[in-house]
Amino acid sequence: MSAPRYQAPRGTHDVLPQEAARWQWAEDAFRDTCRRAGFGEIRTPTFEDTEVFARGVGDTTDIVTKQMYTFEDRGGRSVTLCAEGTAPVIRALIQHGALGASGVQKVFYLTPIFRYERPQAGRLREHHQAGLEVVGAAGPEADAEVIAVGMSYLAAVGITDAALRLNSIGDAVCRAAYRDRLRDFLRPQFEELCPDCQVRFERNPLRIFDCKVPRCRGLIAGAPAMVDHLCADCRAHFDGVQAALRARGIVFTLDPNVVRGLDYYTRTAFEVTHGALGAQDALLGGGRYDGLAEILGGPPTPGVGFGSGIERVLFVTGKLGTGPPASALDAYVAAASDGAAVHAGPLADRLRSEGLTTDFDPLGRSLKAQMKEAARRNAAFAIILGDDELAAGEATLRDLTTGHQERVAVDRLAVTLKQWRKSPPQPA
Ligand code: HAM
């Protein structure tokens, strides 16, 4: 068979119904976890003014320099498909006057993210993020809250063996001094850095910690760590975050390599990784961004949050064998004759309105083929419509697990089915 003429664009994928059931399961787990922790959902547009990302994420980042899907719309405005979730959320909160007043905003989102990356396992050009933000709280408890909700979400989908890696990348004051220190350390080996890291050396040397090239990893391994050069305020905050995590029983390791790929981060940076993922092993990543609201033209407001790739979470749950319960029909309506087939749709309507998941055969197939289909669809019950039964206002209800069947008045089908499900009558 020749390849289909049109395929989903490189780095994107289709989600067909069976897989979509797993998506809904993970999304529901995320929504439930967030709701129980007092978060409300926020939905922002799929595209924004390019400036929101260029300024918010920062023009030294890979995202802004290489990965944005930016185009001019028909009105000559530069717009960009959502390249990450945080800047749009802060833009929206500023626009709607939600910042500045006292109090904390706790919001979550589920959104597609577009980045022109080199596609590989776990790295897509369109991926989907479950993310949340706590805005307006400067203290370390907010960082711990965000992380705790992230870990609860992962636990809710059965991922309990992921590793939380924690770091502090300081603030504008201590990071500037640390950058110089890092440059001094790397300068003698500058020529040995990969071309990307040579650019990073000037623009943002912390990002060299993130490089996957073995030679760069070797060079950076002995470098001074940011956490040893924090100013007093950043140090106190970082200690506070660790204490708050311990108080909540959350296990973490300190990792100087967690520097994050977005410029807005201040102080706390974290990632949750899982061994089942390959080189792209982050299930979830986030941190604090106390300067972002001001950069986007709002009142100075602290914030902290994370984003988690749904595709990666589903990859890991697939490996672990966790997922939603197998979807099953309550009832499959099978018609024994053409005359009876006319009644299948209306009966399905009625059963559905009584809360039962019901389907029937739209193809006019034989009764045998319909019963096969009922089994294939994991139906708990078959409802067989024959001419005789219909004439008497009845149908045959068959429990497909026990094989027990009885003729039941059509009016009583739903009630009887529900009763049988509670206490199945045994075959005589
Ligand atoms: P990020 O680290 O760029 O952070 O992305 C967050 C998560 O999205 C990653 O940990 C990963 O699970 C997933 N992800 C990222 N890129 C891809 C890709 N190309 N293909 C598949 N999955 C991917 C942010 O976007 C920040 N906005 C997170 C945040 C929220 N920080 C504070 N608040």
Taking only the tens place, the pLDDT of each residue in 187-212 is: 999 999 999 999 999 988 999 998 88
Distance from the alpha carbon of residue 307 to the mean position of ligand 1, in angstroms: 5
Mean residue pLDDT of the chain comes to 95
Query: Do 53 and 83 touch, CB atoms closer than 8 A?
Result: yes
Q: Residues 334, 337, 338, 342: is their CA dihedral positive or negative? A: negative
What's the CA-to-centroid distance between 343 and ligand 1, angstroms? Answer: 51
Give the closest residue (by CA) to ligand 1 atom 15: 309
CB-ligand 1 contact for 109 (6 Å cutoff): no
User: CA 253 → CA 99, 237, 244, 273, distances in Å?
Assistant: 33, 17, 14, 11
Residue 274 and residue 161: Cα distance in Å, rounded?
7
Which of 93, 147, 262 gets mutated to test ligand 1 (max ligand atoms within 8 A of its CB)? 262
Which protein residue has the closest C-alpha to ligand 1 atom 6?
307
Q: Identify the pLDDT of residue 428.
A: 62
Contacts of 395 (CB under 8 A, 6+ apart): 347, 383, 384, 385, 386, 389, 407, 408, 410, 413
**Pair type for strands 282-288 and 331-335:** unpaired
Tell the burial category of 404 from Cβ atoms under 10 Å away from its Cβ (0-12, 13-18, 19+): middle
Whole-angstrom Cα Rg for the chain: 28
Residue among 18, 50, 122 at smallest CA distance from 378: 18
Cβ–ligand 1 contact at 167 (below 6 Å) = no
Q: Mean of the pLDDT values across residues 381-391?
A: 96
With a cut of 80, say whether residue 294 has pLDDT above it.
Answer: yes
State the closest ligand 1 atom to the C-alpha of 86, by its place in the atom list counted from 1: 27
Report how far ligand 1's centroid is from the alpha carbon of 207 (Å).
16
| 266 pocket-lining for ligand 1 (C-beta < 6 Å) | no
**Position 18 confidence tier, pLDDT thresholds 50, 70, 90:** confident
Please give the average per-residue pLDDT across 346-353, as a whole number: 97
Q: Is 124 a pocket residue for ligand 1 (Cβ < 6 Å)?
A: yes
Residue that the structure tokens 């809904």 belong to: 24
Q: How far away, in angstroms, is 150 Cα from ligand 1 center?
A: 13
Q: Kindly state the average pLDDT of the residues 13-24.
A: 95
Torsion of CA 340, 346, 352, 354, to 10 degrees: -100
Q: Residue 272 CA: which ligand 1 atom is closest?
A: 10
Query: Residue 20 Cα, ligand 1 centroid: separation in angstroms?
Result: 21
CA 315, 131, 143, 66 torsion-angle sign: positive
pLDDT digits (tens, 9 = 90+) for 396-407: 999 999 999 999
Of 48-57, 107-116, 217-226, the least confident: 217-226
Q: Kindly report, residue by residue over 265-289, the tens digit of the pLDDT.
A: 999 999 999 999 988 889 999 999 9
Is 427 a residue whose pLDDT tops 80? no
Ordered strands of the 282-288 beta sheet? 40-41, 105-114, 126-135, 303-309, 282-288, 266-273, 163-168, 253-254
Structure tokens belonging to residue 48: 């924004």
Q: Whose CA is nearest to atom 22 of ligand 1?
A: 309
Burial of 51 (0-12, 13-18, 19+ CB in 10 A): middle
Which residues lie closer than 8 Å to 22 by C-beta, 6 or more apart? 314, 317, 318, 323, 324
* In contact, 411 and 399? CB cutoff 8 Å: no
- Please determine, for residue 357, whether its predicted confidence score (pLDDT) is greater than 80: yes
Kindly give the pairing relationship between strand 331-335 and strand 358-360. parallel
Name the band, by pLDDT with cuts 50, 70 and 90, for residue 121.
Answer: confident
Q: Is the CB of 343 under 6 A from ligand 1?
A: no
Determine the Cα–Cα distance for residues 286 and 85; give it in Å rounded to an integer.
11
Q: What is the per-residue pLDDT for 23?
A: 98
Cβ atoms 84, 307 nearer than 8 A? yes
What's the token pair of residue 80? 């960009």
The pTM assigned to this predicted structure is 0.93
Max distance between CA atoms of the chain, in angstroms, equals: 94
Query: pLDDT tens digits for 244-254?
Result: 999 999 999 99
Give the residue carrying structure tokens 């080996």: 189
Residue 77: CB atoms within 10 Å: 10
Residue nearest to atom 17 of ligand 1 (CA): 123
Helices (H), 252-309: 292-295
Cα 300 to ligand 1 centroid, rounded to whole Å: 24
| Pocket flag, ligand 1, residue 291 (CB < 6 Å) | no
